[in-house]
Amino acid sequence: MTQNLTRRSVLKALGSASIVAAGSVSFLSRPVAAYTIDSDLRQPANVTGGQLDAAIDAMSSGSPLIGLGDTWITVQNNRQINAIYMAAHAALESAWGRSDIAQEKNNIYGFDARDICPRECADEYASFAQCVRQVMEYVDQEYLTPGGTYYEGATLRGMNVHYATDPQWAEKIASIMNDLDANLPN
């Protein structure tokens, strides 16, 4: 009997197990990363909004970000920005939608939350969905498009040059992207 295996199902099955092949043993502490800080953020994710919502729920049960899956997919389709990246970025910047700035200002990307005045300076949006649409339009034009003010490449490494003061920002987002990817239902 032949079983149809996807990359995701194989990675989930492997988890932290060892792999034995051709007489050698290799120990993995976690599945091979699908995303790195150098992944092209313009590469669409092969995912539905429902799958993205389910992955968020699996990682942060009851997260206020659940329900934004279709919004991220719409933005991905309109702007060619990876939906898993958008969700991971929101998860990091808003503590899965639970931060004070997210709750008070519907700002799930910490947009304009400067180190010297995070709460006061952060932009306010009518809804999480409006925040996604507006912030990702700006990210698209200024960070991910050649000629944009802050363009250093359409990658997390490129964005980290100007977007965040945290030097580990790109690695944190890539890690969340991989965790979301590993939690996507088949």
Among 82-86, 99-103, 116-120, where is mean pLDDT lowest?
A: 116-120
Tokens of 139: 């990210």
CATH for 35-182, among 2.30.29.30, 1.10.10.60, 1.10.530.10, 3.30.1360.40? 1.10.530.10
| Between 157 and 117, the higher pLDDT residue | 157
Q: Please write the tens of the pLDDT for every residue from 122-143.
A: 889 999 999 999 999 999 999 9
Cα dihedral sign, 100-59-138-117: positive
Q: Is 106 left (phi over 0), alpha (psi -120 to 50) or beta?
A: left
Cβ neighbours for 87, distance < 8 A, ≥ 6 positions apart: 52, 55, 56, 65, 68, 69, 72, 180
Residue type, 1: M
Q: What is the separation of C-alpha 156 from the centre of its chain, rounded to a whole number of angstroms?
A: 10
Q: What is the mean pLDDT of residues 55-64?
A: 97
92-104: average pLDDT? 95
pLDDT at 4: 43
Task: Give the phi and the psi of residue 99 in degrees, each rounded to 5.
Answer: -65, 160
Q: Where are the domains of the chain?
A: 1-32, 35-182
Give 32's DSSP letter: P
pTM of the model: 0.82
